A and B are shown apart, each in its own frame.
Chain A
Amino acid sequence: MSKSMLPMESYRLAEFAAQIPCYICGEENTYDAEMCHCCQAPMALAHQANTQKIRPRMVAAIGASGVGKTVYLGMLLDMLSRKMRGMQILARGAFSITLQQTAIAALMRREFPNKTPNEPDQWNWMHCQVSMHERRNAAELIMPDMSGDAILEEVDHPHTYRVIRSFLEKCAGTMILIDASKLMEGCRDQDYFSMKLLSYLSELDDDPKRGWRHRPVALILSKADQCERCFDDPYEFARQHASGLWQHCNERFRNHQFFAAGVAGSCVTRYVRGRGRVVAPLRVEPRGIVEPFEWLLKQMKV
C-alpha cells in the first residue's frame, strides 16, 4: 500500500514546489499562496483557470469613489444568480459570493455597503460562469470590486496599483459608472473623472486592432433613481450633463453605449450617533442593472 502512495506524494510535493503565475499580473507565486505577493489578487483565479483548462475573460466595473460600484456589482450578481432575462450567473468558489453577500446584506438592513478599502487585499473578486439562453456554451468571467480611490490614484499616478493596471490591460470590456445625481446637480467632477478613466484606458492599450478603441465600454449613469429623467434617455442626458465625456466617447471609443441604472428607490441622510451622517437607501428597487451587462457580453461575443 505504501508503495502505491509514494509516487503520489512525490507528485504532490513537486506540485507544491512549482511556482504558479498570478492570473492577473503574471508574477510567480508559491503553490499555497492565497494572494499574489505582487498585486494581491486572489491566487484562486489562477488555480481555477489551471484546473478547468479555461481562460476566464475579464470585465471591469470602474468609476470614481462613491459612484456605487459595489452596490451595482452586488445587485447585478444577486439578480443574475436568480436568473433574469435569460441570463444566469453561477459563482465559482466561495470567495466569489462574498461581494454579493455583503452588498445584499447591507441593502436589506437599509444601509449601503461599507466603502471599499484602498488596499487590494481587501477587495472582493468574483469568478463566475455566465450562461445566456441564446448561447450554447457558458462563459467564464472575472470581475473585481475595485476601490474608486485606488482607481483614481492609479489613473493620476500610473503604476501605483499594479493590480489595476494589469487587470485593465487584460479586460475584454468595461463598465464605467458615473454618478447621474451629481451630474444633474451640475457637478463637473464626474465628467472629469470619467474622462480621465477613458484617457487612461486609451493609453493603456492603443493597439489599432485590439486596443481599447475597439473594446466595448458601457457607460452607466448610476443613481438614476434620483433623477428620473435619466431613465428616459440616458444618451441625451449624458450629452446635456456630461458633454466632455460624451464627446470623448464619440471620438475615442467606437463601441460604447450609455445606460441608466438605479438600485435605491429613494435615499435619506441620517445622523447616527457614533457614525455621523449616513446616507441610507429607503427601499431597494433595482432598475437598469442587467441591461448594460447584457449589452457588454453581447459585444464581447461571450
Chain B
Amino acid sequence: MECAYYKSAHHASRNPPVLIEQAIFTSAESDHAVGYHLVARSPGVDECDARELSVWGPSHDSLESSSVATAASVNFFRLPSGAYCVSKTLLAGEEYSGRGLRTYTHCLIVSPPVLARFANNPFALLRAAWAKGLLRVCDAVPSQLVPFQLAGRAAPVDEGLIGQLVENCGASTIGRLIEAVLKPLPVVLIGVRKPEATVAGILNLLPLSARGELSFATGLTYSPRRPFHLLISSEESAELRRLYRQQLVTVIDVAPPVGVQASPSVGGQAAASVGVQASACPGVAGRPSATSPTGWGGYLADCIGRDALAMLVEQLRDRKEGLHLTNLNELGEHLRRELPAYTKAARPRAAATPANPSDSPAFANGASTTDDDFLALLLAGQPHAEAEPESDDDADTTGIYDETDHAAARKVHLQRLTYRQAPSVLIEVESSANLERLEKLDDVVFDAMAGDERALEEMNRLWPQLVTELGPDKLEESREQYLRYSLAIWESCLEDGLREPDRAIASLQVLSIIFGER
C-alpha cells in the first residue's frame, strides 16, 4: 500500500520529480526472515533489484574496521534495472541474536537522471541525503520505508578534492592508480588515510559520464560475492596477499614512505618515490613500478605534473556523453599528445600575469574542434592511432579553452587548494523555476563563503529578495544547510590543521546575512 507521503510526492507537481527509493540491509528478525537480509524497502524497489541488493549487502565482519568510531563505508554500484545503489554501511545497533553490533547498510536507489544532477557523484548525493536527515540509524529498523525526493545538484568537479589527492599521493601515483582502475581487475588501495576523500577524489578525476561505471566501497573487505571494482583496505592482510598471489586483484599502496613528502608539483619521476607500489605486478605489493602510466592515467599525471590542472578540470566538466571507462584510455592518449603544446603556450602568459588566473594563458586558446572530432571517432569505434601527431607549432590551435571560457578555471588555485563542498542544496521545491532560483542562491552563497566579495554583495541583495518572494518557510531548510556547510568548513579546517581566518570570516558574514543579524 502506498503511503500518503508517496502519493503526495507524486502529485506535488505536473512533472513529478524522480524519487529516490530506499532499502535497509542488516541483521534483524523480520516477519519473513532472520539474520542478514533486506529488512525493509520502499515500494518502488523492484524484486530484481532487491535480490541484487541482498547479494551485494555486507554482512557480519564485512567492514574493514571493527571500531564503532571508524567503521563506515560508502558503497556504490549499478543495479540490474539501470538505477544506481548509493549506500552507507555502519556498525549500528545490536545484532538481534546477541552477537555484538550489527552491520547496517542504508541503500538509496537512485535513477541515472537524479545522480546526474549530482554530477554522478555518489558522495555529493549521500551528503545531501545525510543533511536532510534521511540516513539516521534507528535501533528498531523501520518496517516501512518511503521514497523521497532530493532537490539540488553538485558541482561537476570538486577541485579541492583533486588538490587533496594530488597533495597526498603525487602525480605519478595518481596516474598509475587511475590506470589500474581502468583495467578489469578489482583495485584495492592500501595505506589510505581518508578513504572517502580519496575515492571521491578519484571519482573527480573521471569524466562525468564514466563515473557511474566505477563501483566502489570505501570500507568493506574484499569478497568475490560483492564485485566492487575499487576498494580501500586498512592494511595489507593475509587475505590480500592471497588475492594478489592469485592475480585476482591489483593492490596499490598509496602511503608515502616515512620522511618523504609528496608534492603536487613534482612530476612522474619524483612521484615514483612516494610510493605507487605493485600495481603492474600483482603479488608483490610494495614494489614501485618502473613504467610511467599510460592512457587516461598518464594524461592525468602529465596534467598534474605540468601544472595544467585547469585544462584537466575543464575536460572533466565537459558533459560529453558516451565516454566510458573502456574508452577513456584512448582519449587520454590523444589528450596527452596535445598537452605539451597547450602548456608551452600557457607558460609565458602565466608568468606575465600570475595574479589573475582568469587571464591566464592556460585558458587562452581552444582546440575544441580537434578534440570533438577525435571524440566522434572514438565513440564511433575508430582506433585513435589515426589521431594527429603532436606538434609544438600547433599551440595556437590546440588549446581547449578560449578567452571567454574561464568562469570555472578561475577557481583553480593549485598552490592553495581549498576543500570545498557544494552546500547542501536540498530544498523542497514546487517548480523548476524556484529550483533554479535556489540553485543560483546556492552558487552565490558558495562563492561568498569562498571569499568572493562580489558574491557577498550579490547575496546581500538576493537573500532578502528570495525571502520576500518565496517566503521564509521555503528558505528555512536552505538556511539550515548553509549553517551545516559552514560547520563543515570549520570542521575540515580543524581536521587539516589549517587555520584560515579569511574563510571563517566569509562564512560568518554569510551567516549573519541569512540569520538577519545585519
Direct contact of A and B (CB under 8 A): yes
Contacts of A275 in B (CB 8 A): 100-101
Pick the contact of A152: B35, B67, B225, B226 (CB < 8 A): B35
- Cα A119 to Cα B98 in complex, Å, equals 21
Tell me if B34 counts as interface (CB < 8 A to partner A).
Answer: yes
CB distance A276 to B94 under 8 Å? Answer: yes
Contact segment of B58-66, B328-336, B374-382: B58-66
Interface size on A, residues (CB 8 A): 37
Are B35 and A64 interface neighbours, CB within 8 A? yes
Q: Give complex CA distance A131, B51 in Å.
A: 42
A269, A276, A277: which has the most chain B beta carbons within 10 Å? A276
Q: Which residue of A lies closest to B29 (CB)?
A: A189
Complex-state Cα separation, A102 to B62, whole angstroms: 18
Cα A277 to Cα B100 with chains together (Å): 6
Does residue B37 face the partner (Cβ distance < 8 Å to A)? yes
Tell me the minimal C-beta distance from A190 to chain B in angstroms: 9
Q: Is the CB of A40 within 8 A of B57?
A: no
Say whether B242 contacts A149, CB under 8 Å. no
Chain A positions within 8 Å of B95 at CB level: 115, 276
* Nearest neighbor of B61 in chain A, beta-carbon distance: A117
**Segment at the B interface, from A30-38, A169-177, A246-254:** A30-38
Q: Residue A101 at the B interface, CB < 8 A?
A: no
Question: Mask for A172-196, Cβ within 8 A of B = 1, else 0?
Answer: 0000000000000000010001000
Which segment, of A72-80, A133-141, A153-161, A228-236, faces chain B? Answer: A153-161
Q: Is the CB of B60 within 8 A of A114?
A: yes
A269 nearest CB neighbor, chain B only: B98
**Cβ-defined contact, B246 with A276, below 8 A:** no
Q: Are the C-beta atoms of A65 and B97 separated by less than 8 Å? A: yes
**Residues 124-167 of chain A: 1 if any B CB is under 8 Å from the residue's CB, otherwise 0?**
00000000000000000000000111001100110010000000
When distances are taken between beta carbons in the complex, the residues of chain A under 8 Å from B60 are 114-118
A102 to chain B, nearest CB (A): 12
B59 touches A276 (CB 8 A): no
C-alpha gap A293/B52 in the complex (Å): 36
Max chain A CB contacts within 10 Å: which of B36, B37, B101?
B36
Chain A residues near B61 (CB, 8 Å)?
A: 114-115, 117, 122
| Interface size range of chain B in the complex | 20 to 34
- A153–B225 CA distance with the chains assembled, in angstroms: 14
Instruction: Decide yes or no: A121 and B223 within 8 Å by CB, A33-B246, A160-B54 being known contacts.
Output: yes
Pick the contact of A65 from B34, B51, B98 — CB < 8 Å? B34
Which residue of B has the minimal Cβ distance to A187? B29
Known interface pairs A117-B61, A118-B57, A277-B94; A35-B224 also in contact (CB < 8 Å): yes
With A118-B57, A152-B37 as given contacts, are A274 and B51 in contact (CB-CB < 8 Å)?
Answer: no
Instruction: Let me know if B223 and A279 touch, CB within 8 A.
Output: no
Do the beta carbons of A118 and B97 come within 8 Å of each other? no
| B322, chain A: closest CB distance, angstroms | 32
B41-59 CB mask vs A (1 if < 8 Å, else 0) is 0000000000100110101
Whether A152 contacts B34 in the complex (CB less than 8 A), given A118-B57, A147-B59, A189-B29, comes out as yes
CA–CA, A217 to B57, complex, Å?
31
- Which residues does chain A contribute within 8 Å of B101, judged by CB atoms? 274-276
A34 touches B59 (CB 8 A): no
Instruction: Report if A119-B59 is in contact (Cβ < 8 Å); known contacts: A189-B29, A276-B94, A277-B94.
Output: yes
Contacts of B27 in A (CB 8 A): 65, 115, 149
B99 within 8 Å of A by Cβ?
yes
Interface residues in chain A, defined as those with a beta carbon under 8 Å from any beta carbon in chain B = 32-35, 37, 40, 64-66, 112, 114-122, 147-149, 152-153, 156-157, 160, 189, 193, 269, 272, 274-279
Interface residue ranges, B against A (CB under 8 Å): 27, 29, 32-37, 51, 54-55, 57, 59-62, 67-68, 93-101, 223-226, 242, 246
